Chain A
Amino acid sequence: MKRVLGLLGLGAVALTLQGAVASFLPAPFCPDLGFLLVVALGLCWRSAVGGVCVAGAIGFTTDLLSGSLLGQHALLRLAAHAVARFGNRHLNLRGALPQAVFVAVLTCANAFAMALLTSFFSPGTGVGGVAVRELLPQAVANALFAPLIALGTARAVARLGDEDGGQRVLPLAPRGRIA
């Protein structure tokens, strides 16, 4: 509970900071801190229940502070968290470079999912050439900040009491091959 509350506080700080920083940086070049935090939690926090709860809460709060439909970001943050957990289980995402590449790809997938949802609920908007031009700098900005956020989140998780924060055990051999 303490960890969940602590990470919810971290999420609130990230979103508030995002709102302030976005006033100074052009939107496509501003890293999506809420998204990065949710992905970082998927990479370094063992508690699946806690991760899902925090991701959902961050998503709903993002919806409130954004022009999106209520629930749109919540759904996508849950999906991003799930993909991050899945990716962390099946890929080696320990270094800065793998994390950056993973986040860049996930940012693109997230943006297309967002555009699809938006065009489904508000026809006439959504995927377009302009949105695609914004996507590349957004993916790069997120990729650059991803290792930093992942490191900070892992430390925060460890400080809040999870000894294994950021230290998930990797399987040494493929499943079913152990003699």
Chain B
Amino acid sequence: MGEFRSRIAFSMLIAALVAAATISMVVDRRGRLTGGSLLPGWSRVVLDAAVPLQKMVALPFDVARDAWTRYVALVDVADQNQALRSQLAELREDNLQLREALVASGRLERIAEMRADFDVPMRPAELVGVDVSPWFRSVLLDRGQTDGVLSGMPVISEDGLVGLVTATSSRAAKSMTVLDRQSAVDATVQRSRSRGIVRGRGSEGIGFEFVARGADVVVGDLVITSGLGGVYPKGLRIGRVTAVSDPGSKLVQTASLEPAVDFGRLEQVFVILRRGPTMELLYRAEDGDAAPAQPGS
């Protein structure tokens, strides 16, 4: 009788756990679509606790990496320094010429006035951990709601677009990177203005999907955010075209991109503290944290 009871209890435990997992998935998915659901309280606590733990565990790795990159692996530094100096000189010259042209056309003052209107507030954040699952590409940031970071806000680095904040607690945030297979960003080729969608492909980087007919995409083209989806601001660098597939008879062609951001060395990012119109619409009803946002710009 006792064994029978314990078997029933065990079956009920399994059923409860499976039901909890299934319901969580459905609720989470619904939250991603509507932007209306909140993370459960316990999960915020876990997310908050994860940041100091991750920092502590990553410390020896960071020290080892710093020691290696700063004191040991300095073979190419002199050459790199020289190349960067010459590049800097060229850019200074270009900058000077452009300024001269702007002054000549009388547009510099007007641009300076406009800049104040378009000044976007940003919050620097440190990347404290990457996705613990090999099938997804999210990162954990050490800034949360107390710093003004909310779900749906874009994340960038000095090199370009990193991703989107998908969940926050009071002191931590989870951001889905553009490498994640669930990520889709409305993008455009800077040179030809051909439009398409940049999709994450996991460890294979990112791909740019565009309508083959009439599109002008060649190797070396820079792909930037189009700003049309209302998620990311316009003009953020996403990556450079490295290969263009043969479309054959297909309507949609795909180009491989090398991400502008080196995700393997990413440490410091910036959260743009302003959501795009689509994200604002999705999350307008929320007071605190939000569930992950619907990917795609």
Contacts and interface: CB of A to CB of B under 8 A. Distances in A.
A173 to B, nearest CB: 23
Nearest to B14: A52
A51 B201 CA distance: 34
A74 B46 contact: no
A20 B17 CA distance: 28
Contact of B21 (A16, A59, A133): A59
A49 B10 contact: yes
Contact of B28 (A24, A69, A111): A69
B253 interface: no
Interface string A117-155: 110011011100011011000100000000000000000
Interface stretch (B136-144, B145-153, B211-219, B241-249): B136-144
B131 to A, nearest CB: 5
Contacts of B86: none
Classify chain A: how many residues form its interface, as a range. Answer: 35 or more
20 contacts: A16-B57, A19-B54, A19-B129, A19-B132, A22-B131, A22-B132, A32-B134, A53-B13, A65-B132, A66-B131, A66-B138, A67-B131, A67-B138, A68-B133, A69-B24, A69-B25, A69-B32, A71-B28, A121-B29, A134-B203
Listed from nearest, the 3 A-B pairs whose CB atoms lie closest are A71-B24, A19-B129, A67-B136
B118 interface: no
A70 B17 contact: no
B131 A24 contact: no
Given A16-B50, A71-B25, 8 more contacts: A19-B129, A20-B58, A23-B127, A24-B61, A48-B10, A62-B133, A65-B174, A75-B25
Interface string B15-34: 00110111111011100100
Contacts of B136: 66-68
